[in-house]
């Protein structure tokens, strides 16, 4: 797994995806987990281990090299 990257976080019982930043990766017997910092729907900033299947990479426009253009 790669290093730092922007992702969308899909948390259980949350109706929308939340923007997050992956800080680290770890492999556990249950699969890969990412240490992710994100802002939840009530505005709290959380940093926690999230299963990889609850993450989606942020799409980068071709040729820009950045999510910000």
Count of helix runs (H) and strand runs (E) in the chain: 0, 5
Residue 14 Cα distances to 10, 11, 17, 49, 56, angstroms: 7, 6, 8, 17, 15
pTM of the prediction?
0.76
Structure tokens at 42: 């009530």
| pLDDT tens digits for range 9-53 | 998 888 889 999 999 999 999 999 999 999 988 889 999 999 999
Q: How far apart are CA 65 and CA 26, in angstroms?
A: 26
């Amino acid at each position: 797994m790669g290093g730092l990257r922007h992702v969308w976080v899909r948390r259980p019982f949350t109706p929308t995806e939340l923007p997050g930043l992956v800080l680290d990766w770890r492999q556990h017997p249950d699969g890969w987990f990412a240490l992710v910092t994100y802002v939840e729907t009530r505005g709290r900033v959380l940093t926690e281990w999230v299963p990889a299947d609850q993450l989606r990479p942020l799409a980068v426009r071709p040729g820009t090299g950045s999510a910000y253009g």
